[in-house]
Amino acid sequence: MADFVSTRRDGSVAIIIVDNPPVNALRQEVRAGLKDHFAAAAQDKTVEAIVLACAGRTFIAGADISEFGKPMAPPGLSDVIEVMENIKKPTVAAIHGTALGGGLETALGCHFRVAAPSARLGLPEVKLGILPGAGGTQRTPRLVGLEKAMTMIVSGEPIPAKDALASGLVDEIVEGDLTAGAVAFARKALAEKRPLVRVRDRTVEPVDAAKLDELTASLLKRARGLHAPAAAAKAVRWTLDVPFDEGLRRERDTFLELVRGDQSKAQRHIFFAEREAAKVLDMPKDTKAREIKRAAVIGAGTMGGGIAMCFANAGIPVTVVEAAQDALDRGLGIIKKNYQSTVARGGLKQEDMDRRVGLIQGTTDFGAVKDADIVVEAAFEEMALKKKIFGDLDRLTKKDAVLATNTSYLDVNEIARATNRPGAVLGMHFFSPANVMRLLEIVRGAQTAPDVLSTAIDVGRKIGKVPAVVGVCHGFVGNRMLRVRGIEAERLLLEGALPQDVDGALTGFGFPMGPFAMGDLAGLDVGYRVRKALGERNEIADTLVEQGRHGQKTGRGFYIYEAGSRTPTPDPEVEKLIVDTAARLGVKRRTIGREEILERLLYPMINEGARILEEGIAMRPGDIDVVWVYGYGWPVWTGGPMFHADLVGLAKIRDRLAAFAKQSGDKTLEPAPLLARLAGEGRTFASLAAK
């Protein structure tokens, strides 16, 4: 226990130190240590005040979530906080790094809180499908007020120390030595005989009920489909209606109920899967990432501009290379406009925008890549063009430069063979808009060097992405699975569904949009070109493109878009095209229910995911889930396709796929060998990761 919590003295002030690297999580030994050390300091007559501090890079950054769903070994955090808050000596939490979740709840058990200027404080439990379970929903409003507490707890977003000071969450910001500053604060509290008021005993300030309702509704609108934010909002309101101890009891009961629910299990799964997805099992342990001081991006289009913004946002100078000056000017103009929009919304200060824009240079001189440590090619999806670009990069870039292609489906190995250094080449597949979407699908080629792969992962993290390492195949993980969903979506149209039926089933499941609205947004001509290159045809979508209906950009696709509107309206002409095409192909249409639509869209994707695992394109089932949650809008509260499959039951999915294959005559719908084997053994995809 002494390894995790210890006490040292500064005169009459006891300094209790938590040391549980890397983030001082509240594992059982830490909770027990805190309880014992605070109790001992309370009893020690030579101790006049107590400071709670943490070793390492952060204050307590939360609970040990690996304990969730298991019997909780005593003491519980509420028991620890009860000991702390009943001490009759000044107690001061010294916060640096992040005080999150249970960490902030622990700090709220002290009489006072001081923080380093760079500290961040928050209650992000809703992001794990739960709410604060040790008094966070009941104590926070008593310090910062109902509106601030509602925003913090329902959104789960942390606040900086400056905001925490202004709202009363912390009492002082300490420049310089934080622990020394906390000790000085404690001595000052003693000298001034400041009242030792427990947070639980403070009064909740009344608020305008209508204003609070409006705030709550706006916060919950952003959390559509999630249970925890609504439960958290309800818990915050209990501070108005019930005594503290009753609110604490209700909070704990709700916490335990949410922990047991499928949504929290799914969100916790994604939390861990995100951290695993960038871990390459066969990478040598002594592999070091290359240093990246300057980047270059080939192409100033939508994707290239977004990628350039990612580098600039991370403080990395980037050169954007475009073949034509007008295309370059247009691209740089869009980048500036994007930043200006963020400034107008209050998401960025003008000086920060100016700094970021200043890090982006544009040129039509391809030779400018010579100074780049990493080059990301974001040109048109044509193999010949990409091979030419990489041949030029091979000649012009530094010998230790990392050469990445942003291709979404082309063969990275073939692109690498256009160079004399295939070990330097890999895929870095960003998702549009690149400056917003969090996923970065890192495609390891057959000859990609370990340090090149490590560099791409490191860069991904630095630019705020969630890296997921995958192997080479057509479409990699995400687009390969998207393709099978697209085939089934077209089949559903021919057999009796309409675009709005299919899209409605998926949005009802939790996706932000369905396949047909998404196709209209991306441009139907994009998929048309891909299919044409593969010698494939999609009867409905390709006919629409040939009629000049490319989606939102032409005002018509699967849907009609009124001038300037992004809202899809069903089009009778498209319905007629679907009915006529089905008749021409001899397909008898029927009414198809929402449950069947969902099964036929999702189960083939899961089946393809099983094949991807069998082939080693993804290392873990969780990697596939991360790709789909962060890259394609799969609802996080269902945990991704492979986690969702385990919840549904692999035997059910196997049997339904077999029925779909028999009904359609499409052998690709037959259960993948891995899926069939796991189902037959009564196992789950999760059991693969547990090996």
Q: What angle do CA 259, 260, 264 make, to 5 degrees?
A: 50
Q: 3-state DSSP call for residue 114?
A: strand
Q: Are 58 and 173 in contact (CB under 8 A)?
A: no
Q: From edge to edge, which strands make up the β-sheet containing 13-18?
A: 5-10, 13-18, 49-54, 91-95, 112-115, 172-173
The full 3-state SS of 385-401, as one line of letters, equals HHHHHHHHHHHHCCCCC
Catalytic residue status for 105: yes
Q: How many CA atoms lie within 13 A of 16 on its CB side?
A: 28
Residue 213's identity, in one-letter code, is D
The residues, ordered by sequence, that sit 6+ positions from 350 with a Cβ below 8 Å of its Cβ are 343
Q: 3-state DSSP call for residue 425?
A: strand
The residues, ordered by sequence, that sit 6+ positions from 148 with a Cβ below 8 Å of its Cβ are 167
- The gap between the terminal CA atoms of the chain, to the nearest Å, is 31
**Assigned token pair, 321:** 């290379």
C-alpha to C-alpha distance for 552 and 568, rounded to whole angstroms: 9
Residue 23's identity, in one-letter code, is V
C-alpha to C-alpha distance for 101 and 504, rounded to whole angstroms: 36
Catalytic residue among 48, 85, 105, 608: 105
Q: What angle do CA 277, 278, 282 make, to 5 degrees?
A: 105
Catalytic residue status for 85: no
**Assigned token pair, 314:** 């991370």
Q: 3-state DSSP call for residue 297?
A: strand
**Assigned token pair, 140:** 């926070």
Q: Of the candidates 225, 61, 223, which has an alpha carbon nearest to the alpha carbon of residue 155? A: 223
The residues, ordered by sequence, that sit 6+ positions from 652 with a Cβ below 8 Å of its Cβ are none
Q: 3-state DSSP call for residue 15?
A: strand
C-alpha to C-alpha distance for 150 and 162, rounded to whole angstroms: 18
- β-partners of residue 320 are 297, 362
C-alpha to C-alpha distance for 109 and 339, rounded to whole angstroms: 41
The residues, ordered by sequence, that sit 6+ positions from 176 with a Cβ below 8 Å of its Cβ are none
Q: 3-state DSSP call for residue 346?
A: coil
C-alpha to C-alpha distance for 196 and 205, rounded to whole angstroms: 19
Q: Are 130 and 259 in contact (CB under 8 A)?
A: yes
Q: Are 153 and 232 in contact (CB under 8 A)?
A: yes
Q: Are 265 and 69 in contact (CB under 8 A)?
A: yes
- β-partners of residue 121 are 99, 159
Plot region of 92 (φ>0 → left; ψ -120 to 50 → alpha; else → beta):
beta
Catalytic residue among 125, 251, 441, 495: 125
Neighbours of 222 (CB within 10 A): 10
Distances (CA, A) of 203 to 8, 242, 244: 35, 12, 10
Active site amino acids: 105, 125
